[in-house]
Amino acid sequence: MAHRIGRRKNVKKGFQFTLMVVGASGLGRTTFINTLCDADVVPKREFDEPEMAHIEEGIKIKPYTVELDEDGVKISLTVVDTPGFGDMIDNEYCFQEILGYLEQQYDDILSEESRIKRNPRFRDNRVHALLYFIAPTGHSLREIDIELMKRLSPRINVIPVVGKSDTMTPSELVDFKKRVMEDIENYQIPIYNFPYDIEEDDEETVEENSELRSLLPFALIGCEEEVVVNGRKFRGRQYPWGVVEVDNSQHCDFAKLRFALLSSHLQDLKEITHDYLYENYRTEKLSRSADDDSDSESDQDDQHVRMKDEQLHKEDEKLREIEVKVQHELNDKQQELWAKEQQLQSLEAQA
C-alpha cells in the first residue's frame, strides 16, 4: 500500500530521469537526443577549423534538462551528452572522466545522506541509464566498445544501441546485432538486459522484457525534421530510393526504446540504480575508507561507519513514521468522503 501511495504521488508530481549518451563522434547522439525530446535540446556541433584539428580537446560532459509530458505524466528528463569520446589517441582519460562523473553523483548522495540536517534544495543527479552508441560497421565490437561497456557497467545500466542503423540493410542489421550480442556474452559484459524471472514475474512482464531483450542492441535512426509523403506527415529521413520513418517499428527500434526508457522501464532502471549499483558503490566506498585508516584510526573509523549506519537507520524509521501518518490521513479522508457520499445519497432519496 505504501508503495502504491508513493506511485500515485509520483504520477501526479511527475518523474525525474537521467540518461547519458556515449559514443564515437558523428554517430548521431545529438540528433538522437533531439529526436527523443522532439525539441532542439542540444545545439548542433560547430565545425572545427582545419588548422585547429591537431589540438585534442578531450571529452566534455554536458547535462541538458527538459520537461516532457508523456500522456499526461510529467517527466523531468536530463540527458547527459559526452562529445569528444573516442576522439583522442589514448582513451584512458575518457573512461576516467565518465566514471568520475558517475561516481561523483553517488558521492553527492552519500554525503547528503550522512548529513544531520538535509538540504531541501539537494538534487539527486544520479544517472539511471547509459546508451552506448555502436558504429554501424557491420563487423563486430571494437576494443574501445568492449572496454567502455565493461568498465562502466558496474556503475550504470548500460544499454547498447546501433547509431545510424539505416546505413545497413535489414539482413545486415540482423547479422550485426547477433554478432554484437555474442561479443557481449563472450566478454561477459553485464549490460542491462531487461531482466525477468519466469517463475516470479507475471506473464505480461516476461513477454515484454523478452521482446525488448531480443531487440538488443537497439537499432536507432534519428531525424529532427518532418517529411510529407502521400499527404502523410512524419519524422523521417528521405533518400532518392525511399524514406525511413523514425517512429515506425518496422524501420527501427527507436519507438520501442523510447517507450521503455520513459515509460515501462523508467522505474526499474531507477530502482536498479538505487538498490543495486549505488548500494554496491556505497559499500565499497565505506569499507575502503575503513580499510585505509585501519592501522591508526580503525576504532574511530568503525565508530564513524556505525554512526552513519545508525543515522541512516534513524532516517529510515522517520520515513516509515511519515508513511504511516500519511496512510492514516488518507484513511480519514476516505472515511469523510464516504460519509459525505452517504449524506448525498440520503438527500437524493428524500428529494
Ligand X SMILES: Nc1nc2c(ncn2[C@@H]2O[C@H](COP(=O)(O)OP(=O)(O)OP(=O)(O)O)[C@@H](O)[C@H]2O)c(=O)[nH]1
Name the residue among 236, 271, 231, 281 with its Cα closest to residue 254.
236
258 lines the binding site for ligand X (CB under 6 A)? no
Nearest approach, Cβ of residue 158 and ligand X (Å): 17
Residue whose CB is less far from Mg ion, 45 or 340:
45
Nearest approach, Cβ of residue 66 and ligand X (Å): 17
Q: Which does 320 bind (CB under 5 to 8 A by kind): ligand X, Mg ion, none?
A: none
Q: How far apart are CA 130 and CA 309, in angstroms?
A: 30
58 lines the binding site for ligand X (CB under 6 A)? no
Q: Omega into 63 within 30° of 0, i.e. cis?
A: no
Q: Which amino acid type is present at position 21?
A: V
Q: How far apart are CA 84 and CA 114, in angstroms?
A: 35
CB proximity list for 193: less than 8 A, separation 6 or greater:
213, 216
Per-residue b/e over 303-321, b at no fewer than 16 CB within 10 Å? ebeeeeeeeeeeeeeeeee
62 lines the binding site for ligand X (CB under 6 A)? no
Q: Which does 25 bind (CB under 5 to 8 A by kind): Mg ion, ligand X, none?
A: ligand X
251 lines the binding site for ligand X (CB under 6 A)? no
160 lines the binding site for ligand X (CB under 6 A)? no
DSSP 8-class letter at 251: T
Q: How far apart are CA 117 and CA 131, in angstroms?
A: 36
- Name the segment binding ligand X (CB under 6 A); options: 19-27, 120-128, 180-188, 314-322: 19-27
Residue whose CB is less far from ligand X, 79 or 189:
79
30 lines the binding site for Mg ion (CB under 5 A)? yes
Per-position x/- string for 70-99, each x denoting binding to ligand X as judged by CB under 6 A, each - no binding = -------------x----------------
22 lines the binding site for ligand X (CB under 6 A)? no
Place of cell 558504429: 135
Name the residue among 2, 68, 73 with its Cα closest to residue 36.
68
Contacting residue, 7, 8, 13, 45, with ligand X by CB under 6 A: 45
Contacting residue, 166, 183, 245, 253, with ligand X by CB under 6 A: 166
Residue number of the CB atom closest to ligand X: 28
Q: At what angle do helices 279-292 and 294-350 cross, to 10 degrees?
A: 150
Residues that bind Mg ion (CB under 5 A): 30, 45
Residues that bind ligand X (CB under 6 A): 25-31, 45, 83, 164, 166-167, 221-222, 237
